Amino acid sequence: MKKRVLALILVAAMCMSLLAGCGGAPAASGGEEPAGNEPAAELSPVQAIIKEAQGMTMEELARKAIEESNGKTLYGVGNSSRGKSALPKFIEYLQTIDSSYSMEYEWQQPKNNKIFDQLTSDSKKSEGTFALTLIQDGNQIESKMVQTGVLDTFIPKEWAEANGIDAETYTGYLPLQTLNKVFMYNNTGSFKPTNVWDYVGEGQHGQFMDIDSEIVGKNFLYMLTAPQYAQWLKESFDKLSDEQKAYFKPVIDEVAQDAKDLELDENGAYALAWIKLWVGSYNAVTDDGPICNNLVQKSATDQFGLLVYSKLRSVEESAEVSVNNVNVAAYDEGYEGIGGYGYCHYMFVTDNSPLPWTACAFIAYITCTVDGFSAWGKDMGGYSSNPVVAAGVEETYHHSTGGYVDGVNTYPNKNDRGYDWWTTDGKLVLEDPAYCAKVAFTVGSWIEILDKYAG
């Protein structure tokens, strides 16, 4: 029966692929490149502004924003509440150019993945309420926001130059930052993971935000089936003891045919086995904050989780609670395999934005200046996509020595090793929106079946 279900999933997926045609990553203007000799699609008014804005400096954009929004109110919506913290700094920047400038603002942060519904509803108006959005979950962004024309990508000139790309030909989204969720464990007991497979071993129950409440967690599982990350799981498996291999091998054999049916690569069964064991064992928690608050307690012996690294910043030290009660597993010498998951916050202008010039100027400000990014950059675990800004953030906030107090390395786990380390030695699995969208129906349906019976 299960094989029949998988066969139906694959047939449906092939039909969807035929309907979708040869779509790829979204073009910088938010549309697709014209095929062959077909005329280019007419730009929307906002897309036309974006096309012009991409050739302008930040100061030129700022003057356009002042002209457009002086005395008005900007409405933004995002998965991060820190957009609200960044807007006053943006206004102060504009006031350095025109001291008489003023702008009111409101920032909403919808819960329970409602941001997509909210933006879709707003897109039906001739002029929307929201000028821009900061949004996560590359899979749903691609399928619900970009392909449907709800959101448009703007690439600031300075950002493109810092990354050595051409804004006009760049075909990705604009990431504000990469965040990492990392494996952490309470170190007061005997559980000391040395391999990523230890988290799905017999009797283990990691703490994790439920994959139906925060979809980026499901994207993490999708990404494990990508060739690079499936290979990492295979390499980690090969370094287990014979006894450990004997425990996991039956599960790998059990899903081997599923991996073929889902057209995964040669190591796909290792990814599916890890996913199956994880989905069947993790303890669902509503938010990363409670996971962190639990793990740092002295009494949370042998517990572990996959959670946002930056949550360690807000731990209040006491006799029973300490950052030093947990280890960041990837920082342990000898640890083997995946250290966590990296996903992005992306910036978009709404296609019916009431203040498109101001939206572009704000996006340029927070992606191209340290002050603009400071609402996020002041804390560890969030990495600017602009290498110039990233270097300035480290110079300003010294996250690599964030655990030092009065010159003493008091909280080593707060010494953030940075994006370059996490994406190499730390073996961070990185979200790829195109891959997530590609397997969301096939691998996603397979996971849905697991999740249903796990619950």
Residue range 402-414, pLDDT digits in tens: 999 999 999 999 9
> 23-45, pLDDT tens digit by residue?
233 333 333 333 344 455 799 99
pLDDT score of 7 more than 60:
no
pLDDT score of 428 more than 50:
yes
Report the C-alpha gap between 272 and 251 in whole angstroms.
9
Q: What percent of the chain has pLDDT over 90?
A: 86
Residue 48 is encoded by which pair of tokens? 């036309």
First to last CA, the chain: 20
Report the C-alpha gap between 404 and 410 in whole angstroms.
5
Range in 17-21, 130-134, 357-361, 445-449 with the lowest mean pLDDT: 17-21
Residue 327 lies in a domain: no
pLDDT score of 239 more than 90:
yes
pLDDT band at 16 (very low <50, low <70, confident <90, very high): very low
pTM of the predicted protein model: 0.88
pLDDT at 453: 61
Residue 340 region, left (φ>0) first, then alpha (ψ -120 to 50), else beta?
Answer: left
> 142-167, pLDDT tens digit by residue?
889 999 999 999 999 999 999 999 99
- Number of folded domains in the chain? 1
Average pLDDT estimate for 114-126: 96
Residues in the chain: 455
Q: Which residues contact 7 (CB under 8 A, 6 or more apart)?
A: 261
Q: What is the mean pLDDT of the chain?
A: 91
Residue 142 lies in a domain: yes
pLDDT score of 399 more than 60:
yes
Domain coverage including residue 58: 25-31+42-177+344-400
Strand ranges (E), 109-155: 132-135, 151-152
pLDDT at 41: 73
pLDDT at 454: 60
pLDDT score of 175 more than 70:
yes
Report the C-alpha gap between 30 and 152 in whole angstroms.
4
Report the C-alpha gap between 192 and 164 in whole angstroms.
42
pLDDT at 264: 98
Report the C-alpha gap between 29 and 7 in whole angstroms.
37
Name the strand (E) or helix (H) holding 305: strand 304-308
Report the C-alpha gap between 393 and 381 in whole angstroms.
12
Amino acid at 175: P
Selected residue with higher pLDDT from 2 and 58:
58
Average pLDDT estimate for 136-140: 93
pLDDT band at 196 (very low <50, low <70, confident <90, very high): very high
pLDDT score of 11 more than 80:
no
Q: What is the DSSP string of 403-441?
A: TEETTEE--GGGS--HHHHHTTTT-EEE--HHHHHHHTT
Report the C-alpha gap between 83 and 308 in whole angstroms.
18
Residue 238 lies in a domain: no
> 290-315, pLDDT tens digit by residue?
999 999 999 999 999 999 999 999 99
Residue 52 lies in a domain: yes
> 337-366, pLDDT tens digit by residue?
999 999 999 999 999 999 999 999 999 999
The shares of helix, strand and coil residues in the chain, as percent rounded to the nearest 5, are 50, 15, 35
Q: Which CATH number goes with the domain that contains 351?
A: 3.40.190.10
Average pLDDT estimate for 235-242: 98
